[in-house]
Amino acid sequence: MESRRFLPNNDQISVIAATIILTFSLAGFISFPEQEIRFTLLNIYVTLTLNAQFVIMVVASILAASGSDWLIRNHPLWNHKNTLEHWVTPLLSALVLGFLITRFEGSLYSWISFFLGASLLMGILVAEYITVSPSDLRYPIAVTLLLAISFLLFLIFSILIRMLSFRLLFTLPSIFFATLLVSLRSLRLRQPKGWSFSEAILISTLTTQIAAALHYWPISPLSFGLALFGIAYALFLLVNQLKSNPILKISIVEPLSLLIIAWILAYWFK
C-alpha cells in the first residue's frame, strides 16, 4: 500500500494525455491564413510565419507543462515548492511530438508518432511524479528514464531543426534553448540539492558553437543531430562526474568514449 500511495491518479494521467493528444488531432481540422510577421533584428530582415500548426504546438506544450504541474501538486509529499523543474521534459516532449505530427501529417509516420508519443508522454508524467520523493524505491529508475528520454528528445529535436532548414539566426537560439532545458533538468536530477545554471549555460554555449560550425556543412540531419547529441551528453556526463569525482583523468574517460562513438556514427551517416 505504501508504494501505491506514490503512484499518480490514473484519471489525472488519462485526462492530461487525452487533452494533449486531442489538441494535436485538431491540427488536421483547424486552419487559418498564414500570418507573416516582419521585423529587423540587428540589421537583419526577419520574417516569421504564423500558422495553425505552430499555434497548436505551442498550446500543446503549455498543456503538457501545466498538466505536469497539476499532477505534481497532488503528490502526498509535495512540499509546496516551485514545480518548474517538472515542466521541462513534458514541455519538450509535446514540442517534439508536435513537430513530428505536423511534419509527417497524413502519413503512416504521423500516426506512429501520434500513438507512441501518447504512451511516451504518459510515461514521462509518471516518472516526473515519482521523482518528487527521492526516498521512493523507484526513484533511480525514474531518474534514468527521464535522462534517457530528455536526451533522446534533444536528438530528435536537433534532427528536425536540420530537416526544416532554418536560417542560422533561428537554428542557434533553438539549439541553445533546447540544450539549456535538457542540461538544467538532467543536472537537477543528478544533483537535486540545487540548480547548476553556470554548468548548463556552458554546455549550451559549447553545443551551440558546434551547431554553428556544422550549419553550412553538407551533412544529413541524422549526422547533425548525432554530433550535437554527442557533445551535449558528453559534457553533461563530464560535469556530473566532476562534481562527484574531481579527478579529471578519471572523469573524462566515459564522456570522451561516448563523444567518439557519437561522432563516428555522425560521420558514418553523413
User: Are 90 and 128 spatial neighbours (Cβ–Cβ below 8 Å)?
Assistant: yes
Residue 3 CB neighbour total at 10 angstroms: 9
Which bin fits 165, alpha (ψ -120 to 50), beta or left (φ > 0)? left
As a whole number of angstroms, the distance between CA 228 and CA 214 comes to 9
- Please give the share of the chain, as a percent, with pLDDT higher than 90: 14
Q: Which helix (H) or strand (E) holds 45?
A: strand 44-50
Instruction: List, for residues 53-100, the tens digit of each pLDDT value.
Output: 777 778 888 888 888 888 888 777 777 677 778 888 888 888 888 777
Cell (9 digits) for 73: 501538486
Q: Which amino acid type is present at position 208?
A: T
Q: Partners of 47 in the beta sheet? A: 38
In total, the chain counts a number of residues equal to 270
Instruction: List, for residues 178-225, the tens digit of each pLDDT value.
Output: 899 899 888 888 877 777 788 889 999 999 999 998 888 888 889 999
Most confident of 21-35, 68-82, 118-132: 118-132
Assign 37 a pLDDT band (cuts: 50, 70, 90). Answer: low
